[in-house]
Structure 1
Amino acid sequence: MTRLGATLAAAFAEVLQRSTRSRMYGLLTHDLDAAIDAATYPVISALDRVGSRSAAELAADVGLDRSVVSRHADRLEVAGLLRREPDPRDGRTTLLTLTERGAQQVGVMRERLDDAFDDYLATLPRDEARAFVDGFVRFVRDGPFGSR
């Protein structure tokens, strides 16, 4: 009999694969500003989640090299989706900040993600869907790599 941990690890690895993320980003970014794609999605999405950050801080948040984050930020800035501004705490540092238009585009992506999850969960019996969501939230919060 397969251990539950091994089954979970295999499913988790599949979710983390680049191909899975690319499919998800494609669904979320379809027909949005051309500057938002699978490459820039982690940058614009993280800025919405964590707020204004320097390129170095954001790079640590999303697991990319600072130069890659800066390059993606350049594309997003030219498109009017983010702006660079001096850090009020340290004038030597530049912060990346979402513009109103950038925040609106992220809102569309978040809604699409919510809809995709709702569509899947609707295929399950209600109590099974609730148990799955509750268990997953608990796993993210309290599991081996939990946020607590």
Structure 2
Amino acid sequence: MDNEVGYEIADALGVLLRRTTRERLHRSLTEGMGEGVDEVTYPVLSALARTGPRSAADLAPDVGLDRSGVTRRATRLEEAGLVRREPHPTDRRAALLVLTDAGERAVAELRRRLADHIGASLAAWPPGAAGEFARSLRRFVTDGPFA
């Protein structure tokens, strides 16, 4: 493979990973989701769904915030009934952030919205191209430079 493909992928990733790109997507996905769910709290909610119960300090690197940033967002989610705090089993100073049933339902709706959004954007692709892209992207993520 020539370097041009590498540059093209790097440029596309630059756009994809830009904070403003993520915030705009999160804002559209969370519209009308109710109190506590917005583009600011979405990354914490989504990360908890992917990783399971975690402390704010453990979750922070996954969402690109410090512990206090995660804690503030988790407090909003807790006040909305989407997250609860439980004692950490090995660290009495820490609490685990856990999705509630309402939080699980919110995540399911957010994932459905995201899948619909992605599906709609790929609808005009030639038959089979979207599936091939999905398989290639999965391979790139699991075997590529970020693995």
The two structures share one fold, judged by TM-score above 0.5: yes
Aligned residue for 1:55? 56
The 3-state SS of whatever aligns with 1:126 is: coil
Q: How far has the Cα of 1:85 moved from its partner?
A: 0.9
**Map of 1:71 onto structure 2:** 72
Scaled by the length of structure 2, the TM-score of the pair is: 0.93
Task: Indicate the SS of the match to 1:97.
Answer: strand
* Paired residue secondary structure (2:93): strand
**1:59-117: per-residue Cα shift (whole Å, max 9, x none)?**
12222100000011111111111011101233332111111001111110000011111
RMSD (Å) for aligned C-alpha atoms: 1.5
Structure 1 residue 120 displacement after superposition = 1.9
The Cα shift of 1:125 comes to: 1.0
Runs of 4+ residues deviating >4 angstroms: none
Residue matched to 1:81: 82
Q: Residue 123 of structure 1: CA displacement?
A: 1.1
Superposed CA offset, 1:11-48 (max 9, x none): 10000111211121012101002211111111011011
Is structure 2 residue 96 aligned with structure 1 residue 95?
yes
Q: Which runs of 5+ in 1 are unaligned?
A: none
Q: State the alpha-carbon separation in 2 of the partners of residues 15 and 67 from structure 1.
A: 26
Counterpart code for 2:100: T
Aligned-partner Cα distance in 1 for 2:48–2:3:
40
Q: How does 1:1-148 map to 2 (within 5 A)?
A: 3-146=4-147
Aligned pairs, number: 146
Matched position secondary structure for 1:136: helix
Q: What amino acid sits opposite 1:21 in the alignment? A: R
Q: Give the unaligned 5+ runs of structure 2.
A: none
